[in-house]
Amino acid sequence: MSTPTLEKTEAAPAATGEAPRRTRRRGERGPLGAALLHGGLAVASLIALAPVAWLFYLSLGPDKDDYLHPGKIAGKLSFSNYSFVLQHTGFFDWFKSTMIVACGTTLIGVLVAATTGYAVSRMRFPGYKQLMWVLLLTQAFPIAILIVPMYQIFSDLGLIDTYWALIIINCTTAVPYSAWLLKGYFDTIPFEIDEAGRVDGLSPFGTFFRLILPLARPGLAVAAFYNFITAVGEVAFATTFLLDDSKYTFAVGLQTFVSEHDAQWNYMAATAVLIAIPVSAFFYLVQKNLVTGLTAGGTKG
């Protein structure tokens, strides 16, 4: 008697002809939610790309006053501005100086920030909490009030008109934020890894360099990118401390297109587009780790 009952029970879904209702998993978006999300992301992307596209469009106008009449640029598009910048300005000197300062700031700044963040994350020495707040406090002083004392200090040290002056100054700007970022990222790495390194006979420095840093690669990528763009975009100190035009960085070189009574906006636009190339290339190198580093670095503090 039980066999027919089982057959009826098993055949019941087929007899009704109705597909089983699919249960939505937690966090899964419906069609409307997905459409709104992708639509919002598309709009945000357009907003972010619009200024870049507009700058590139203006850079194709051959006359310095074309930005006043952008509609007329479409009929006379030209790459003459790029030719002039590459052939008749100190662009490649600016590029060399910028890369020296930016790479120096990135290497030294990330090393100092990583060691500082790791020490505060793992060690409990007197004043370790106050150290991080002091680093944060250094960001409260405006650049304008720091230029004169910093100039006097570097003048006494003989560092005026040198790359080292800018590297040191950029590190003072970038290290505090990077140290906070990496401290938060090191907090997410289990202490057991440090203990395993000590059991294997590694020194604290060996544990840090051989075990912790490889695991902290996403956080290091974010810190490196922040240090790099800080050095590339810095203007005030570079303008004050660099006297030789062959040592100008991009930020200072752009100012050569502006005089008291005139501004060559077409050349500035072309130079700005060219400046974006090395920054974009650096971003491409580290972009795989940026999202992970940004999110993980803020989970603990």
pLDDT band, residue 100 (cuts 50/70/90): very high
DSSP 64: T
Q: DSSP characters for 159-220? A: -TTSHHHHHHHHHHHHHHHHHHHHHHHHHTS-HHHHHHHHHTT--HHHHIIIIIHHHTHHHH
- The tens digit of pLDDT for each residue in 1-49 reads 444 544 444 444 555 555 556 666 666 677 787 788 889 989 999 998 8
Q: Return the structure tokens found at 85.
A: 């910048």
Distances from the Cα of 82 to the Cαs of 65, 129, 247, in angstroms? 16, 51, 21
Distances from the Cα of 157 to the Cαs of 12, 162, 164, 244, in angstroms? 90, 11, 11, 18
Dist. CA 197–CA 245, nearest whole Å: 50
> For 35, left (φ over 0), alpha (ψ -120 to 50), or beta?
alpha
Dist. CA 240–CA 159, nearest whole Å: 12
Between 9 and 251, the higher pLDDT residue: 251
Q: Return the structure tokens found at 140.
A: 């409260």
pTM for this prediction: 0.79
Q: Which domains does the chain have, with CATH numbers?
A: 90-260+276-297 (1.10.3720.10)
Residue 53 phi/psi, 5-degree rounding, is -65, -40
pLDDT > 90? residue 164: yes
- The tens digit of pLDDT for each residue in 114-157 reads 998 888 888 877 777 788 788 888 878 888 788 889 999 999 99
Q: What percent of the chain has pLDDT over 90?
A: 27
Position 192 scores a pLDDT of 87
Helices (H), 1-127: 2-16, 31-59, 80-88, 91-122
Non-local (6+) Cβ contacts of 37 within 8 A are 29
Position 84 scores a pLDDT of 92
Q: Is 263 helix (H, G, I), strand (E, B) or coil?
A: strand
Distances from the Cα of 119 to the Cαs of 8, 176, 186, in angstroms? 70, 14, 10
H or E stretch covering 290: helix 265-296
Position 67 scores a pLDDT of 81
Position 43 scores a pLDDT of 92
Dist. CA 45–CA 48, nearest whole Å: 5
* 281 strand-pairing partners: none
Q: What is the mean pLDDT of the chain?
A: 83
Position 1 scores a pLDDT of 45
Dist. CA 193–CA 212, nearest whole Å: 8
- The tens digit of pLDDT for each residue in 215-235 reads 888 889 889 999 999 999 888
257 CB neighbour count, 10 Å cutoff? 19
Position 294 scores a pLDDT of 55
Position 301 scores a pLDDT of 43
Q: Is 24 helix (H, G, I), strand (E, B) or coil?
A: coil
Between 204 and 151, the higher pLDDT residue: 151
Dist. CA 277–CA 283, nearest whole Å: 10
- The tens digit of pLDDT for each residue in 62-95 reads 888 888 888 888 888 889 999 999 999 999 999 9
- The tens digit of pLDDT for each residue in 122-133 reads 887 777 778 878
